Structure 1
Amino acid sequence: MVEHVLVAPDKFKGSLTAAEVAARVSAGLGVPTVELPVADGGDGTVDAAVACGFTRVTLEVTGPTGAPVTASYAWLAAASAGPAPVAVVELAEASGLRRLPGDPEPLTATSRGTGELVADAVRRGARRIVLGLGGSASTDGGAGMVQALGARLLDAEGGELGRGGAALRELAKIDISGFIDISGVEFVVASDVDNPLLGAHGAAAVYGPQKGATPDDVVLLDGALGRLAAVATQTHGLLGAVEHDGTPRPMGVAGAPGAGAAGGVGFAALAFLHAEIRPGIEYLLELLGFDDQVQGARLVVTGEGSLDEQSLRGKAPVGVAQAAAKAGVPVVAVCGRRTLSDEELKTAGIEAAYALTDLEPDPARCMAEAGPLLERLAARVAADRLN
C-alpha cells in the first residue's frame, strides 16, 4: 500500500475553512493524501464534521439578539462513529459573536438558538449529542438554551424571565415539568475552557469583556449567574452552588471546570443535560476517526491561521500532534503566521512550521491570497519532508 500524508488542519480564520485548507495543502504536496479537516469545538466544528462525512441539517433558530438566524448542525446515522445517530451542535452557529447583527449585547444576548438546535437533534432521534462550545455572544448561564428545551425560568410573581444574563437577577424558580425528554441521549461537551461559572475566573469576569461587558456589567452578570446557580441548587439538588452571606460561592456544579464555558452554557449542560465535558480537540479527533486515518501515514500536516501561545492551550494543531505521536508519525504545521519558537514547537510535538508570511510579508495579501500561497507552502513541505 502506498504510504499517504494525512492532512488534518483547522481553519485559517477569516480566509479558509479547514476543508479548504486541507484541499490546498493536498494540491501543493502532490502526493497521495487523506484529508481530515479538524476543529476544537469552536467556530468551524460543524464544517469539519460535514467534511468528514456528516450531513448538514439547517434550520431557522433564535439568534443571540432574539432575531432569527439560519444555523446548522452536523448529523451522522452511521454506527461507525459510535452510538448512532450522532449530532454535532456548534454553539457559535446559532449563538456566536459572528451572529450579532451589530453591536454586542452583553446583558441581553441569549443562547436560546443553541437549545433549539439541540431540541431538533433530540426530536430527530440523536442518541449522542456533541456540544461544541466557543465563540459565544452571551453570558446567560445557558438559560436561553434550557428555555428552548422546555424549562421555565420564573420570577417571584411566576412570570417568565426575558432573555439574557441580566434577567437572571430576578430568577426565583425553575420549572422543568415541560423539559424535552432526553432519556437515552448522551451529551458530551467539547471544550478546552476550564473556568468555573462564578468569581474572578468565571464566565462573566474572564469572557464578559470580550462580549462588550463593562466592569459594572461584569459585576451584575456574575451576581445574576450566582442567582441561577443558587436557584438550580435549591430546586434541583445541585450540590454546593449556594449563597453564603449574600455572596455566590463557586462550588459544586458551578465550580466544576468548564462550567464557565460559553458564558456559562457549560454549567447548563452539566446541570440540566448531565453532560460529560471532554477536551475539545481530543474528543473531536476521536469522533472524526483520526486514529484510523493516521495508520500507515508517513507524515501528518496540521495547521491553523496563527500558531501562537493560544495554540499551546489545547488548540487543534497541538492536539493533532499529540494524537499523531501515539502512532509514531511525524508532524509539521502550516499557518498564516507564527510566533512560537522552534523549541516551543518541538515541545508540542511539531517538527517544523511553515508560515504564509515566509512567502508574503504583507498580512493583508496573506489573507486575500491564502489559497494559492498555501499550495506553494505545501510544495516546500514536500520538498523538505517527502523526498
Structure 2
Amino acid sequence: MLRALKGYPAAVRLLLFTTFTLTMARAITLPYLVVYLSTHLGLSVGQTGLLVGGAMLLASMLSLYGGHLVDTLHSHTLIVACTLVFAVAFLGIVASTSAALFFCFLVIAYLAQTVVDIAAKAGFCALLPENQRGEVFAIKYTFNNIAWAAGPMLGVLLIEADDHLPFVVSALIGLSLSLVYYRLGERNLLSLREERPAAGFTQVALGMLRDRRLVCFTLGGVLSAVVFGQFTAYLSQYLVVTLNDPAEVARLAGYLVTTNALAVIGLQYLIGRRITRQHLMPWLMAGMAMFVAGLLGFSVAASAPAWCLAMLVFTLGEIIVIPAEFMFIDLIAPEHLRGVYYGAQNLSNLGAGLGPILVGLALGHVVPVTVFCLLIGSVLLAAVFYWMGTRRARQA
C-alpha cells in the first residue's frame, strides 16, 4: 500500500489525507453524542436515536444535490468551503440550546463531509487511469476504517477533560483542513474532466432516473446496506433478546466490532486492489455469498469464537462489496456527472438506517432467529438488482 501511495500524484494523496482526517473528526464525537444530547438537551434515548439517525438519513438524501455541486463547481473551492462549513457546524453544535438547532447543525456537518467524500471520489477518477482506481478506493476505505476505529478512542480521552472538547477539536480539524487544502489543493481539478454545458439539477435527476443501470444498482446498494450498514446495531438487538444478559451482550458486541475492524484494516487493501471492472459481477456475487454465509453463521453461533468466525466471513463480504460498488459507478457514470452519480450511490445509507428498524420490528413479532432469514432475503434481492445492473452495463 505504501508503494502505491508513493506512486500517486500529490493531489491524490492530499485527497486521501483530507477524507481520512475529516472522517476522524466526525468519529471523535461518535461515543458522546447520545450522552451529550441526554445531559445538555434532556432527550430520551429514543429521541436521541431519532435525531442522530434522522440527521444521517436527511444528509444522505441531500447528498444527491451535493454530487451535482461537485460536477458544476471547482473541486478546490468546494472542498475548502465544505471543510470550513464542517468546522462552523461543529461550533454551532456546541452552541446549540435546542434539539432543533442541534439537528440542523448535525445535518450540515454530515452533508459537508459527504460532499468532500464525493469530490474526492470524482477527483480520483479525474487524476488516475482506470486500472488504478479500484486500488485507490480500497486504500480510501481502509483509511476510513482506521479513522472510525481510532476516532472514538480519542473522543473518550477528550471527554474526560471537557464534555464540549470533542466537538471543538472536530471544528479545529475542519478549519485546519480548509486552510491546508486552500494552500495545497489541486485548483484545476474540474478542468481535468471532460467539459460539458452544465444542466440544471432537476434535469440531471430526471436523466438519472432513466438510467436503469444506476436505478438497479442503487436499489441493490440500499438492500445490501440494510445488512452491513449498521450490523452492530441489529446484532446487539438480537443478542439483547436472546441472551438476557447486558454484560454478556456488551462483551460479545465488543468482540464482533473488533473482529470487523481488524479484518477490514488487514484485508481491505489486499482484496480490494484485485477487484477489476472486467470481473465485477463474479466479485459482487462472491461478496453476496460471504454475507449469506456470515448471516447463517450468526444464526447458529453458540459461543464467542463462533460469533467471531461468522463475523470474519461476513466482513469479507463487506470488503468485497464496498470497492465493487465504487467500481460499478466508475463504469457507468458519464464523465461530467461523476459527482451526482456518486451522490446517488450514497443513498445506500437509507438502507443502513432501515436495518435496525426492520430487525427491531421483526424481533417483536417472530422467533428471533428468523431475522437472519429476512436479512438473507435482503441480500439475495440485492444480488438480483446488482445482476440486473451489471448486465445492463455490459449491454450498454
TM-score (norm 2): 0.24
TM-score, normalised to structure 1's length?
A: 0.24
Larger Rg, first or second structure (1 or 2):
1
- Pick 1 or 2: higher relative contact order, CA cutoff 8 A, min separation 6: 2
Whichever structure has more helix as a proportion of its residues is 2
The structure carrying a bigger strand percent of its residues is 1
